[in-house]
Structure 1
Amino acid sequence: MNTYKNIVKYLCIAALTFTACSDDNDLQLVEPSHRVIYTSQMDFENQIEVGNYITFGDVSPGVTARTWSFPENVTSVEGNQSSDGVVKAYFNTPGDYDVKLHQVFKGDAYVDDQLRGKELDTTIAVRVLGPVKLSVSAQYINPDGTLGADLNLADNAQNELQAGRSIRYSYAVAGEPANSTWTFEGGKPGTIDNTEIVDVKYSRMGTYGVELLAGRDRPFGEDMIAFENLVTVIASTDPVTLDAAYNRDSSGGVLNVEFSREIDAATLNASAFTVTATNGGTVYTSTIASASVDSNEGNIVILELAGVVYNDDLVTITYTPGTLKTLDQVAVGQITDAPMVFVGDNFFDNGTYDFGFENSMDSNWAYQWWGAPWDDYTFSVSSTQAYEGDYSGYVVVNPGGGMIVGQVDDAGNAATFQVVAGQSYELGVWIYVESLGQILPGVNPPDVRFFWAPATNWGVSGNPTFDTAYPVGEWVYSSQIVTFAESGPTTISIRADNQNNPEALKFYMDNLTLLEANLRP
């Protein structure tokens, strides 16, 4: 109804503006010819869901004849296509379509501010989306990383899974939803957005459901799939692994030690754990004041230290076998110098900088024009390996070559993040090396370095440096402490140096982090 009122309003304005007075002594106005076309969905790129309509309006002054043309067997039209200025078209089939308007004017007609002739042809692109419709699949992940059998996707299916193992979920969708959200009861991650394929690890025994919701705001549409009691996590005989160790809060005085399965709190002995911090050649052994099992996440052991550890420490955790067992009564074996990683608010996570490579394309990681050898590489956003989410950045630096890239938007503008001058930050990255190439003795080994603008520090060290002992085929976290000379918006470039390597260096990188750092006094 509002659409018709608006079109009538434009017609009335045109009529009042260009009507000539009847008195011969009055000024006679000449009606101009000007193309003015509207649609009811023009502010939304003429995108609708199948079965709905768009109103098309021609309120061009000076028109003497018009003809609308609509796709055959796709639309049903209300109004006279050979004369009416306003017609309504229902679209019955999803797809991309052209609606055409042929106009004949009294004189040469303006389009914007240019004359284009007495006869004009206009094409209006329309996109018709089908309803949002989801389909889900799920497969076991075998201990060796290969995919196993399909799950039975049904309420109360209670597909059995040994504790500490994972399931790969994926979905296909029609109707182009703008967003999606997975919710996994009892799994990790518990929720994740806009991810088509996700591996979910179940560490706690019990029976859990799964839910997936996808939708779009305009044109509105959504679909949800949910399965109650889909997965039953049972006792396992697999070896117990330490999956992660990280700070529980910003103080650095409490650590989370995350195991692959739930821990039996009755078997926990704080004295079996050792936390060591190395800084500038000095080794600090932290006294553990207490140890407990997280009441909500039974696979997490909480170590409360008598002191604190700092971002510039190299912190490791060792467990000497004793009484510690899982709830399914499997003993925890020796753990030696497992690295602890600091977590916190990531300054790269600002909605612009794609720190996880989830929302950018190859072209958004642009060469920075340093010249040879820094142009001798390939970079791609890859789904082959990911530390978290679906994607990572895959780098192949050719023999003797190098890489220098930075993130840009589609217009070529560099992505920025905010920093404070003089503040210490931990700059980190997760790296998965596919091939080190050939690391030669007596020369500088390959490395990755991060430079920023404005006022970079050209003396930063490798982060990481790829020596002969660097792990291959696993995700490893690397970090360094940096400060910025200027506050405000900052850009960063990633440099990989392979000049002294006679073979290609191949690696993935993910989850770039920039954390406010607390340094050892």
Structure 2
Amino acid sequence: MLILTTTIAVSCFEDDSISTTEPNHRVIVTSEMNFDNTINPGGHIDFGDLSQGVQSRTWTFPENVSRISGEDGNTSTKNVVKGIFNTPGVYNVTLNQTFKGDVYPNENSTVPNTTRELDTTIVVTVLDWVESNIKAYYINDDGSTGNELTMTDNAENEITASEFIRLTYTAVGAPDEIVWSSAGGKPTSITTSEETEVDMRFSKLGSWDLQYIASRSRPGDADTISLKNFIKVIPSTEPVTLDRVFEKEYQTTIGLEFSREMNPETVNKNNFSVAIETAGGAVINPEIASVTVDANEGNILQVELANEIMYNDDVVKISYTPGTLATMDAVAATTITGAVLTDFIKTNVLEETDIDYSFETTEDSNWPYLWWGGRWGEYDYNLSFDRAHTGSKSMYIEFRPNGGMIMGHRNNDNEDITFLVESGVNYEMGVWVYIEDLGNITGEANIRMYWNPGTNWGIGDNVTFTTTTPVGQWFYSSAVVQFAASGDVSYMIRGVNDNTDRLKFYIDDLTLFKLTSRP
């Protein structure tokens, strides 16, 4: 619904010289103007002519695909009209206005037009309802797409434990989020905003459903496809592999993620050992309290330490001497020697601040140039919906040839947005990066994350752009930093491009992890 509010101020004067001439000013609004005038089939948009000094007007709507509420034809002379659109497509709604005098064509105009007649065109987009077609394929040993799976209920397409399938879709209706889900998959849910194909791994034996949901937030619509007993995971004779070592429970438990489900009856803690190398050079061999199979994810072993905890500055290594450990399909686990824990549990302290670390809530103006002069303003940027690591937005940046960048983060009052830090504590300061075009890298190219006050100008790159830096995929870059003093600091993101081509990339999800250190 379009809501119009008019305020009229009336004063009484005896001075007949005061002019009461009404200005002629064009002002046109729609109820969906903040959403690109985009609606579903059968939806409506309210159009309002708030112009001053209008002598006559005519709205004209496209025939056969739309109608004007309360009118017999496709035209109207009312100042507010409701247009109903029934057919997907892109349509023009026109407004012809005749004013009582020369007219200011828009709100920024300082000089009126000499003509009293103006035409305005408003583009309306009617999206299709979201409808999808999904397919799935086996993946060949070389990573290429293999044979297509049968897309029906109870198809029970057989796949060997620990292998992947490739899921693809086509859709009309411009969905902005795709979610693939299967309780037997790893991960159990994959969400994407733009990828038309994803790979899902299956490690748990049994038959599993598949669900696909394509949706858009505005105008709202969704398409859901569910297939019962779509995948049947069968035993494998291939060796079981250790795919990841991570912190399962904070400071006390190590997680071992295998390529497929492990048999709980074959687990023996005496076949495992842990070595912790401290930052000070000591080696600790903690006792293992227990080794168990995770109740929810059967391909994960939980190794709980006794009377010892882990710190972020430790190097934690785990080993396994072959014993009885085997998969649910009776394949024995092989030797593990000093596998390093790579994923610690960490909390992004920026999540508790006003920093827009994921670029979701601020505008371009909240990330201003800091006026260092010279090369440091030789860049272009905007907050973009085109690509995101998480959420719906990221920051798109182009370093100009032989250019550079320095930007800060400020609120709408042009005040630095700050985050609280502690001195003498290690922090991991990071960012996710997606390179669109590296150009021709022959010289220095990098990003450095600085802060103010107390900047450490000697901090290293975060990230370094080279000829081997991944292109066309998100990757994470970080550096361990310390702050000279406790207090509030603000971001300064600085970049360099000593090359003759533009460097084009996205950044998303700034991180600041407070790391634990062994006392």
Distance in 1 (alpha carbons) for counterparts of 2:208 and 2:481: 43
Q: Name the stretch that deviates more: 488-497 or 45-54.
A: 488-497
The residue type paired with residue 333 of structure 1 is T
SS at match of 2:270: helix
Matched, 1:296 2:290: no
User: Root-mean-square deviation (CA), in Å?
Assistant: 5.3
Distance in 1 (alpha carbons) for counterparts of 2:144 and 2:374: 42
Task: Give the 5 Å matches for 1:423-442.
Answer: 423-427=425-429
Q: Provide the residue aligned with 1:321 in structure 2.
A: 322
Task: Tell whether the 8 Å contact from 1:449 to 1:460 is kept in structure 2 after alignment.
Answer: no
Q: Name the stretch that deviates more: 330-339 or 291-300.
A: 330-339
Deviations 1:30-52 (A, max 9, x none): 55544343434345442211232
Task: Tell whether the 8 Å contact from 2:357 to 2:511 is kept in structure 1 after alignment.
Answer: no
The residue type paired with residue 242 of structure 2 is L
Task: Tell whether the 8 Å contact from 2:67 to 2:84 is kept in structure 1 after alignment.
Answer: yes
Of residues 80, 84, 91, the one that matches 1:97 is 91
Distance in 2 (alpha carbons) for counterparts of 1:414 and 1:322: 62
Q: Name the stretch that deviates more: 28-37 or 199-208.
A: 28-37
> Structure 2: where are the runs of 5+ without partners?
361-366, 379-383, 435-443, 466-473, 500-504
Q: Provide the residue aligned with 2:230 in structure 1.
A: 230
Matched, 1:64 2:66: no
Q: Provide the residue aligned with 2:41 in structure 1.
A: 50
The residue type paired with residue 329 of structure 1 is A
The residue type paired with residue 56 of structure 1 is F
Distance in 1 (alpha carbons) for counterparts of 2:478 and 2:200: 27
Q: Provide the residue aligned with 1:287 in structure 2.
A: 287
Q: Provide the residue aligned with 1:179 in structure 2.
A: 177
- Could you say if the C-alpha distance between residues 387 and 118 of structure 1 is closer, same or farther in structure 2, counting changes exceeding 3 Å? closer
Distance in 2 (alpha carbons) for counterparts of 1:448 and 1:406: 14
Distance in 2 (alpha carbons) for counterparts of 1:390 and 1:42: 20
Of residues 161, 165, 168, the one that matches 1:167 is 165
SS at match of 2:102: coil
Distance in 2 (alpha carbons) for counterparts of 1:460 and 1:231: 50
- Cα shift at 1:131: 0.9
The residue type paired with residue 299 of structure 1 is N
Q: Provide the residue aligned with 1:191 in structure 2.
A: 189
- Could you say if the C-alpha distance between residues 449 and 267 of structure 1 is closer, same or farther in structure 2, counting changes exceeding 3 Å? farther
Give the aligned length.
469
Q: Provide the residue aligned with 1:361 in structure 2.
A: none
State TM-score, norm by structure 2: 0.72
- Could you say if the C-alpha distance between residues 200 and 510 of structure 1 is closer, same or farther in structure 2, counting changes exceeding 3 Å? farther
Distance in 1 (alpha carbons) for counterparts of 2:283 and 2:456: 28
Distance in 1 (alpha carbons) for counterparts of 2:79 and 2:392: 50
- Cα shift at 1:222: 1.6
- Could you say if the C-alpha distance between residues 513 and 37 of structure 1 is closer, same or farther in structure 2, counting changes exceeding 3 Å? closer
Distance in 1 (alpha carbons) for counterparts of 2:463 and 2:94: 59
Q: Provide the residue aligned with 1:37 in structure 2.
A: 28
The residue type paired with residue 483 of structure 1 is Q
Matched, 1:346 2:348: yes
The residue type paired with residue 285 of structure 1 is N
- Cα shift at 1:311: 0.3
- Cα shift at 1:420: 2.0
Distance in 1 (alpha carbons) for counterparts of 2:339 and 2:403: 32
Task: Tell whether the 8 Å contact from 1:311 to 1:426 is kept in structure 2 after alignment.
Answer: no
- Could you say if the C-alpha distance between residues 459 and 174 of structure 1 is closer, same or farther in structure 2, counting changes exceeding 3 Å? same
Distance in 1 (alpha carbons) for counterparts of 2:405 and 2:22: 61
Q: Provide the residue aligned with 1:267 in structure 2.
A: 266
- Cα shift at 1:247: 0.9
Task: Give the 5 Å matches for 1:404-483.
Answer: 418-422=419-423, 423-427=425-429, 450-454=448-452, 455-460=454-459, 481-483=480-482
The residue type paired with residue 101 of structure 2 is G
Task: Tell whether the 8 Å contact from 2:357 to 2:508 is kept in structure 1 after alignment.
Answer: no
The residue type paired with residue 257 of structure 1 is L
Q: Provide the residue aligned with 2:331 in structure 1.
A: 330
- Cα shift at 1:176: 2.3
Distance in 2 (alpha carbons) for counterparts of 1:33 and 1:275: 81
Task: Tell whether the 8 Å contact from 1:258 to 1:300 is kept in structure 2 after alignment.
Answer: yes
Distance in 1 (alpha carbons) for counterparts of 2:276 and 2:103: 78
SS at match of 2:229: strand
Deviations 1:281-339 (A, max 9, x none): 33222221211111111111111112112101122222222221111111111222222
- Could you say if the C-alpha distance between residues 83 and 298 of structure 1 is closer, same or farther in structure 2, counting changes exceeding 3 Å? closer
Distance in 2 (alpha carbons) for counterparts of 1:265 and 1:46: 58
Task: Tell whether the 8 Å contact from 1:427 to 1:481 is kept in structure 2 after alignment.
Answer: yes
Q: Name the stretch that deviates more: 415-424 or 199-208.
A: 415-424
Deviations 1:329-371 (A, max 9, x none): 111112222220213323466894359x9xxxxxx9x9x9999
- Cα shift at 1:261: 0.9
Q: Provide the residue aligned with 2:128 in structure 1.
A: 130
Deviations 1:45-86 (A, max 9, x none): 422112323233435443332232334554334536264444
Distance in 2 (alpha carbons) for counterparts of 1:99 and 1:312: 64
Q: Provide the residue aligned with 1:435 in structure 2.
A: none
Distance in 2 (alpha carbons) for counterparts of 1:431 and 1:255: 29
Task: Tell whether the 8 Å contact from 2:139 to 2:165 is kept in structure 1 after alignment.
Answer: yes
State TM-score, norm by structure 1: 0.72
Task: Tell whether the 8 Å contact from 2:272 to 2:320 is kept in structure 1 after alignment.
Answer: yes
Percent same amino acid at aligned positions? 41
SS at match of 1:248: strand
